Amino acid sequence: MAYPDDASFGDLTSALSAISESLDQFNRFEGPDDAGRNRESWRKVLDVPLPDAGLGLDAVLEELRSVVIPNGLRNGHPGFNGWVTTAPTTSGTAAALASTVAGSQRFWVQAFNYLETVSLKWLNELLGFPDSWQGTYCSGGSSANLITLGAARQWAVEQMGVDPSMTGMPEGVRWRIYASSEVHHVINRAAAILGIGRRSVTPIPVTDAFTIDVGALKEQLKSDASRGIRPMAIVATAGTVNTGAIDPINELADVAEEVGAWLHVDGAYGMFGILDDRVADLYTGVLRADSVALDPHKWLAAPVGNGVAIVRDRGIMGRAFTLEPASYLEGSASQDGRIESPFDDFGEMYHEFNLDQSAPSRGVQVWAILKEIGKEGMTARVVRHNSYARHLEKLADDHERLEVVSKAVISICCFRYNNGQLENARLNELNAEIAAHLRADGSFVPSTTVVGDVFAIRPCYINPRTRLEDVEGLANRVVELGDKITASSPH
Ligand SMILES: Cc1ncc(COP(=O)(O)O)c(C=O)c1O
């Protein structure tokens, strides 16, 4: 079919085959990763003026193939275990492509809309959540926490007989959100956006295990209550970004119940850890949560841009995020309930519980991933990754020039090079130098963090491609680099 436009339409088979070898080549992660080192040369090729006359599809594909893809981000490399990110597996990638083409909006009566619902039910089943819990897909952990805390705000202010989505926050009332000092900084930003204020997120000290100190929380609540400050929500983190610590959710549920606060669980990284029987007990109490944030684009290795906000009662989320009726929408669907076109109904109304009106279909990615590997495959992944962190902890414990900085709870183990001869400040510099060398080598790329006053090397195992040899390789390389640097500059 011919269309009156300069863009190409039906050439996907040849377009995909023009770049697919380059993508497969990229995914083999062979040779050095020169994207950072060579940035001047590929930027020069890409930094050209806007063309007046289009250069055509072939020119686009050729530049994708030869310049863009080879200089992409290798966070799927088996030795990459930094931050909490990885690259997608094939089924999620194929599903994302399919939805880009055939499900380019998540609503209306169509298969991709339905898979939002099916996959949310599967996530509930996978994680042992009640079937009645309702979720909505969003763009990641930041938005999942923002949406769930938006629901918390709606609920808390409604307790005063005020609808904050209609009239804003009541004047003269001071609110607090309570979370451990290890909480992810997107929680503070969510509080800022919701008009509660970053400073209202009250950091509660942590125990030696980096979990929230419940005694200190109770003290803070008591003192705040005496000053008329209202508790809006308590945030439990199930898998902190620094060390993978899991807050005592059940105890926090007791406290939330006592003080009448919403209990939110930020499980963006660590919620899937519940699949490992060795640590499942640490999640006790999660079924008492009012909301949970999940990130399929982390441990589930979905394409980035995939988060889930789950609440016990989506009515609250609806009151917080609903769209006003609009004449361009109302009446545009079937008036008598008959479905004779996909456009006769909006399907499951996910856009009513969310920030985006137009949004991609994301559920299909989770559906594809879980359909491919099943609960067993996902459980095996989580158990393997948690075992990697434990193995690394043992390697570091056993080695005389390595030191465990934080023990493995789920799939993070923080450690450092320490030859026992240097002061902490120098050790911090040395380990930062080791980390810089690791990033430049590209074979083993953890990220780093600071635990107390210790600069630590911090691998976080969520990458499905990582093998045991990558875990052992990292430990060996840290020793090699530490030895080499200290030999050349002992002090
Ligand atoms: C515990 C936790 N919460 C929230 C986030 C933010 O998620 P995202 O980067 O998807 O916005 C992260 C990211 O690492 C996280 O680890």
CATH of residue 218's domain is: 3.40.640.10
Pocket flag, ligand 1, residue 140 (CB < 6 Å) = yes
Q: How far apart are CA 485 and CA 491, in angstroms?
A: 10
> Of the residues 314, 338, 370, which one is the last residue of a structural domain?
370
Token couple for 283: 């999640």
**Tens of pLDDT along 264-305?**
999 999 999 999 999 999 999 999 999 999 999 999 999 999
Ligand 1 center to 483 CA (angstroms) = 34
Residue 21 lies in a domain: no
Pocket flag, ligand 1, residue 268 (CB < 6 Å) = yes
Q: Same structural domain for residues 334 and 245?
A: yes
Q: How far apart are CA 329 and CA 352, in angstroms?
A: 13
Question: Which residue range is the domain that position 101 belongs to?
Answer: 92-370
Q: Same structural domain for residues 41 and 119?
A: no
Nearest to 403 by CA among 484, 457, 446, 460: 457
Nearest to 254 by CA among 293, 281, 215, 199: 215
Q: Same structural domain for residues 464 and 349?
A: no
Q: Best substitution site from 181, 182, 184 to test ligand 1's pocket, by max atoms within 8 Å of Cβ? A: 184
Residue 9 lies in a domain: no
> Of the residues 40, 72, 104, which one is the last residue of a structural domain?
72
| Residue found by looking up tokens 């929500």 in the block | 233
Ligand 1 center to 291 CA (angstroms) = 16
In this prediction, residue 490 carries a pLDDT of: 62
Strand partners, 204: 180
- State pTM to two decimals: 0.98
Average pLDDT of 327-336? 89
Average pLDDT of 230-241? 98
Q: Same structural domain for residues 167 and 99?
A: yes
Ligand 1 center to 29 CA (angstroms) = 26
Mean pLDDT taken over the chain: 97
Q: Same structural domain for residues 324 and 401?
A: no
In this prediction, residue 384 carries a pLDDT of: 99
Ligand 1 center to 123 CA (angstroms) = 18
For the CA of 238, the nearest atom of ligand 1: 1
Share of the chain above pLDDT 90, in %: 96
Provide the 3-class DSSP secondary structure of residue 117: helix
Residue 463 lies in a domain: yes
Ligand 1 center to 224 CA (angstroms) = 28
Pocket flag, ligand 1, residue 107 (CB < 6 Å) = no
Residue 56 lies in a domain: yes
Q: Same structural domain for residues 260 and 169?
A: yes
**Tens of pLDDT along 187-226?**
999 999 999 999 999 999 999 999 999 999 999 999 999 9
Q: Same structural domain for residues 381 and 363?
A: no
Pocket flag, ligand 1, residue 141 (CB < 6 Å) = yes
Q: Same structural domain for residues 242 and 335?
A: yes
In this prediction, residue 10 carries a pLDDT of: 84
Give the angle subtended at the CA of 103 by the CAs of 98 and 105, to the nearest 5°: 140
Pocket flag, ligand 1, residue 143 (CB < 6 Å) = no
Ligand 1 center to 3 CA (angstroms) = 43
In this prediction, residue 491 carries a pLDDT of: 59
Average pLDDT of 413-437? 98
Q: Same structural domain for residues 234 and 353?
A: yes
Ligand 1 center to 160 CA (angstroms) = 31
Token couple for 349: 């109304």
Q: Same structural domain for residues 178 and 106?
A: yes
The pLDDT confidence band at residue 445, using thresholds 50, 70 and 90, is very high
Residue 191 lies in a domain: yes
Ligand 1 center to 103 CA (angstroms) = 26
Q: Same structural domain for residues 59 and 201?
A: no
Q: Same structural domain for residues 162 and 218?
A: yes
The pLDDT confidence band at residue 489, using thresholds 50, 70 and 90, is confident
Write the CA distances from 260 to 200, 237, 255, 290, integer angstroms: 17, 19, 8, 12
- For the chain, the domain total comes to 3
Average pLDDT of 404-424? 98
Q: How far apart are CA 278 and CA 386, in angstroms?
A: 9
In this prediction, residue 351 carries a pLDDT of: 86
Pocket flag, ligand 1, residue 266 (CB < 6 Å) = yes
Share of the chain above pLDDT 70, in %: 100
In this prediction, residue 338 carries a pLDDT of: 96
CB distance 395 to 472 below 8 Å = yes
More confident residue, 381 or 350: 381
Residue 77 lies in a domain: no
> Of the residues 326, 349, 370, which one is the last residue of a structural domain?
370
In this prediction, residue 1 carries a pLDDT of: 73
For the CA of 270, the nearest atom of ligand 1: 1
The pLDDT confidence band at residue 150, using thresholds 50, 70 and 90, is very high
Residue 4 lies in a domain: no
The pLDDT confidence band at residue 359, using thresholds 50, 70 and 90, is very high
Q: How far apart are CA 469 and CA 78, in angstroms?
A: 10
